Amino acid sequence: MFLFIYKTLKILISAIRGSDSPKQIGFGIAVGMMIGLLPKDSAFAMMFGLFVFATSVNLLATTLSAITFALIGSLCDPLFHQVGLFVLTHENLEATWVWLYQQPFSAWTRFNNTVVMGSLLVGLFLMFPIYYYSTGFFEANGARFSRSLTRFWLFRVIAGKKKLAELAGAES
Amino acid sequence: MIKWKFVFIRLFLLFGIFAAIHFGTSPLLKFGLVTVAEWVTGSKLEIGSLDASPFQTQIVVGKVHFADPKDPMKNLFDFSDAHLNFDQNELLHKRFIVNDGSLDGLQFGTERTTSGKVIRPESAESAESSLINDYIANVGENVAGGLTDLLTRRFDENFETIQCSKDVFERWPQEYAALMQRGKKLELRIREIRDLSRSLQANPLNTLRDLPKVEQAVRDSTTIKSELKNLQQSLASYRNQILVDRNNILAAKNRDLARIDEIKNSKRLNGRSLSQLLVGDQNGQRVDLAISWIKWLRTTFPHPKKQLEANRSRGQTIRFPGIKDEPDMLVRSLRLNGIGTFENRPYEFTGQIAGLTHQPERYGKPAYLQFESTGDIQFSVKGMVDRSQSIDHDRIVIKIPSLKVSDQELKIDDKVQLSLSSSEVEIHARIELVGNELSGQVKAVQKQVGLTIATNIQNDFAGELKSMLNDDLKEIQGFQIVAKISGTPESPKWELNSNLGPQIANAFNSTISRGYEMKKTELVNRLNKEADRALMQVSQLLQSNEKVVSLFLKSQTSEIFQLENRVADLLKVRGLRFR
């Protein structure tokens, strides 16, 4: 029984840990940003969440990114509102929005909300720069950053012995 | 190459999340419904079971009891099962549309074993019947007072004619007797003169001796003649006086006739007031019931406040032109069945609710409710709740085609009441509430009724009237009552119109008039009889007394003349004469 629980937890931890290449961490941070910025009652946030589960992005990086950008996003609502309002009320796009509104499932996305649309567009606009710079950051400082994290108990649990041994070997 | 371990782990996580959503929705929804309902109403909501999930299009709810906020020991409603089938296509558009649902075992006002109060809400005061009852009580006093007066009336049967005749019969015999008395006195003196003349005739020698007597007799005869003449004049004047008295009797008779003619039924029953008195209270209960239904509609389906609509704190939801917004939640059709009670009699009913939504302004159409009973008590209730405009509009139509009504006592007062035999009544009520303005009417048609009057007033006239009235009341085969409603739900007003009161009033007034006419005819006949008898007696009195006195006076006059001549002859034979 205890063995089963231990194995299950280990599987979960390994899933959370995910792949830890700089690109996967960078992509996780970019997707986490999207999830964080989008209002959570929009299906867009859920779609990005499913996307995270369907790919091998680093879940820990995604989670931390989502939390961080959720805090930042609430401060940026006026900006998102202005962007969303401009786009949603643009005459040339009106027909597109009407068509989209009439499609199944579109209502769940609440795309006609100014903050949802604004945060989606801003997030998509920032996605590549965030991915690019965070990948570069982790390529340059990933090992040193990981070692500094070994001071934390939670990281040690999540990283596992193998990873810790890798980090120790790299240091020596 | 597929990393199966990675796929398996991700699928496992996804499955766990979906399972948590699937199995967690029901308890969460149940908790949310109970918490919100109890917070809003202050009454307990008990849900036996609830099966809902975002991955299925049906919600099944079982054994629901919702306590009445006004009476914690009763349920406002409860039902055994509810099935709500959502439109799958509409769900993809984030709209919860119940295309077809059912609510089974619905009951209203059932007893609770425990109190259903969560907090103590302020209960609204009943705004009905006290004024109406006061009004009816006042009407009752007026009508009952008038009716009892009519039935207990006593007629003055002391005719002046009779009194006048009595005076005549008492006075004239005395007058004639007095006249006769005076005549008798003269007769005595005449006899003395006659005796004197006879003694002189028998013994002429005494003439000189009795000369003073003769002289006195001669003077008396002159006086007697004068007196007799006076008496005859008196007799003649009596004749005239009796004729005057006869005319007085006739004048008294005419005055009596005039007085009889003046006997009028000045108090006529007012049909409308009588209707208020007889059926006002009962119909008031029906009106109260109908108004309580429309108030129930208004309170059960309040106007949704704008802040209750999804009011996102983040951003603004853009409405695109040309797109008609549908409500987020809508019940297109919900079939109902359950058990209710009417006048303590249970009945089963089926019904349907259509167009029920929390966003009626978006829906743009009213919601409709319909209930129909099955079994002994037949009725149908149709309701309309329109919250699509800024002014709320409610309408309720109640039809009861045939409701058995047991024997009734329609009490007018302690002395007079009407008995209404058991019959059937058809009730049709239609009430509208626009804004805060009530309008509509409650109409009740009662057929094949049997009305009789019952009274404990003990007098002949009331007895006769009662008999006649019951004959007239038999003509009333049915009646209708219409209560026109106005005012506000807090202060409703209603105006009662019924043909029962006027029919009964007509019967009463007609009977009373006929009764009075009969009484007048009886009095006139009696008066005529009494007057004729009096006049005849006066004539007889005149004839008999005058004849007697007249004959007497004539004989005395004749005799006094004869005596006067005889005395004169005697004196002449003796060579005597008076100077």
Q: Do B94 and A53 touch (CB under 8 A)?
A: no
d(CA B454, CA A101): 78
Single out the residue of B30, B84, B24 nearest to residue B59, CA to CA. B84
| B118 or B30, greater pLDDT | B30
Q: Do A113 and B93 touch (CB under 8 A)?
A: no
Name the CA radius of gyration of chain B, rounded: 52
Alpha helices in A21-113 (DSSP H): 22-37, 43-54, 59-75, 77-88, 94-101, 106-109
Average pLDDT over residues B548-566: 83
- Residue among A85, A104, A112 minimizing CB distance to B92: A104
* pLDDT score of B90: 81
Residue from B93, B95, B319 to probe the interface with A (highest A Cβ count within 10 Å): B93
* pLDDT score of B576: 63
Single out the residue of B225, B301, B150 nearest to residue B565, CA to CA. B225
Single out the residue of B442, B511, B515, B426 nearest to residue B474, CA to CA. B511
**Does A171 fall in a domain?**
no
Which residue, chain included where needed, has tokens 């996580």?
B13
* pLDDT tens, residue by residue, A3-60: 666 665 565 555 555 556 888 888 989 999 999 999 988 889 988 988 887 777 887 7
* pLDDT score of B128: 41
Q: Do A12 and B320 touch (CB under 8 A)?
A: no
* pLDDT score of A118: 94
* pLDDT score of A125: 94
Is residue B570 within 8 Å of residue B204, measured between CB atoms? yes
**Does A72 fall in a domain?**
yes
**Does A111 fall in a domain?**
yes
3-state helix/strand/coil string of B187-206: HHHHHHHHHHHHHHHHCCCH
Residue from B90, B97, B314 to probe the interface with A (highest A Cβ count within 10 Å): B314
Q: Does A14 touch chain B (CB under 8 A)?
A: yes
Neighbours of B467 (CB within 10 A): 12
**The pairing of beta strand B45-51 with beta strand B75-86:** unpaired
d(CA B277, CA A144): 100
- Residue among B9, B92, B321 minimizing CB distance to A15: B9
Average pLDDT over residues B164-173: 83
Single out the residue of B313, B95, B56, B364 nearest to residue A107, CA to CA. B95
Q: What is the mean pLDDT of chain A?
A: 81
Provide the pLDDT confidence category of residue B309 given band limits of 50, 70 and 90: very low
* pLDDT score of B1: 45
**Does A100 fall in a domain?**
yes
Is pLDDT at B305 greater than 90 in this prediction?
no
Is pLDDT at B122 greater than 80 in this prediction?
no
Residues of B in contact with A118 (CB under 8 A): 315
* pLDDT tens, residue by residue, A157-168: 666 666 666 666
The A residues from 73 to 92 touching B (CB cutoff 8 Å) are 77, 80-81, 84-85, 88-89
Is pLDDT at B132 greater than 50 in this prediction?
no
Residue from A21, A53, A63, A91 to probe the interface with B (highest B Cβ count within 10 Å): A53
Q: Does A39 touch chain B (CB under 8 A)?
A: yes
Average pLDDT over residues B565-571: 76
> Which residue(s) pair with B144 in the sheet?
none
* pLDDT score of A70: 92
Is pLDDT at A87 greater than 80 in this prediction?
yes
Q: Does A112 touch chain B (CB under 8 A)?
A: yes
Compare all CA atoms of chain B with the CA of A116 and give the residue at the minimum distance. Answer: B315
Is pLDDT at A2 greater than 70 in this prediction?
no
ipTM entry: 0.77
Average pLDDT over residues B100-127: 72
Average pLDDT over residues B518-529: 84
* pLDDT score of B137: 43
Q: Does A113 touch chain B (CB under 8 A)?
A: yes
Average pLDDT over residues B343-354: 84
Average pLDDT over residues A126-140: 91
Q: Do B94 and A39 touch (CB under 8 A)?
A: no
How many domains does chain A fold into? 1
**Does A35 fall in a domain?**
yes
Q: Which two structure tokens, joined as six digits, stand for B114?
A: 């425990």
Residues of A in contact with B322 (CB under 8 A): 98
Cβ-based burial of B44 (10 A; exposed 0-12, middle 13-18, buried ≥19): buried
Percentage of chain B beyond pLDDT 90 is 8
* pLDDT score of A152: 75
Q: Does A132 touch chain B (CB under 8 A)?
A: no
Is residue B76 within 8 Å of residue B108, measured between CB atoms? yes
Coil, helix or strand at residue B481: strand
Q: How far is CA B391 from CA B302, B325, B354, B356, B388, in A?
A: 11, 20, 20, 17, 8
* pLDDT score of A68: 92
Coil, helix or strand at residue B492: strand
Is pLDDT at B271 greater than 80 in this prediction?
no
* pLDDT score of B127: 37
* pLDDT score of B477: 83
Provide the pLDDT confidence category of residue B161 given band limits of 50, 70 and 90: confident
Q: Do A104 and B89 touch (CB under 8 A)?
A: yes
* pLDDT score of B327: 85
* pLDDT tens, residue by residue, B54-80: 888 889 999 999 988 888 888 888 999
Lowest mean pLDDT among A135-149, B366-380, B527-541: A135-149
Q: Do A15 and B321 touch (CB under 8 A)?
A: no
Average pLDDT over residues B396-418: 80
Lowest mean pLDDT among B59-63, B145-149, B207-211, B311-315: B145-149
* pLDDT score of B206: 73
**The pairing of beta strand B329-331 with beta strand B96-108:** parallel
Compare all CA atoms of chain A with the CA of B7 and give the residue at the minimum distance. Answer: A54
CA distance B8 to chain A (A): 10
Residue B530 — φ and ψ, nearest 5°? -65, -45
- Residue among B9, B94, B322 minimizing CB distance to A98: B322
CB burial of B273-290 (b: ≥16 within 10 Å; e: otherwise) equals: bbbbbbbbbebbebbbeb
Is residue B298 within 8 Å of residue B394, measured between CB atoms? yes
Residues of chain B that touch chain A, judged by Cβ-Cβ distance less than 8 Å:
3, 6, 9-10, 12-14, 89, 92-95, 312, 314-323
* pLDDT score of B249: 86
d(CA B241, CA B248): 10
Neighbours of B262 (CB within 10 A): 8
* pLDDT tens, residue by residue, B4-56: 777 777 778 778 888 998 899 899 999 998 888 888 778 888 999 999 888 88
Is pLDDT at B121 greater than 50 in this prediction?
no
* pLDDT score of A19: 58
DSSP state of B449: -
* pLDDT score of A32: 93
* pLDDT tens, residue by residue, B172-182: 888 888 888 88
How many residue pairs from chains A and B have C-beta atoms closer than 8 A? Answer: 71
Which residue, chain included where needed, has tokens 């003073």?
B212
Residues of B in contact with A89 (CB under 8 A): 318
d(CA A1, CA B29): 34
Average pLDDT over residues B185-204: 82
CA angle centred on B286, ends B285 and B291, rounded to 5°: 95
Is residue B273 within 8 Å of residue B143, measured between CB atoms? yes
3-state helix/strand/coil string of B497-564: EECHHHHHHHHHHHHHHHHHHHHHHHHHHHHHHHHHHHHHHHHHHHHHHHHHHHHHHHHHHHHHHHHH
**Does A61 fall in a domain?**
yes
* pLDDT score of B89: 79
| B550 or B155, greater pLDDT | B550
Q: Which two structure tokens, joined as six digits, stand for B34?
A: 């109970």
Compare all CA atoms of chain B with the CA of A87 and give the residue at the minimum distance. Answer: B318
**Does A161 fall in a domain?**
no
Is residue B328 within 8 Å of residue B334, measured between CB atoms? no
Is pLDDT at B259 greater than 70 in this prediction?
yes
Beta-sheet strands, E only, within B367-461: 367-374, 380-386, 393-405, 408-411, 416-420, 423-434, 437-447, 451-455
Q: What is the mean pLDDT of chain B?
A: 80
Provide the pLDDT confidence category of residue B552 given band limits of 50, 70 and 90: confident
Is residue B117 within 8 Å of residue B76, measured between CB atoms? no
* pLDDT tens, residue by residue, B231-245: 888 888 888 888 888
Cβ-based burial of B439 (10 A; exposed 0-12, middle 13-18, buried ≥19): middle
Q: How far is CA A106 from CA B53, B328, B507, in A?
A: 20, 14, 76
* pLDDT score of B307: 45
- Residue among A12, A53, A116 minimizing CB distance to B14: A53
**Does A156 fall in a domain?**
no
Domain that holds residue A22: 2-142
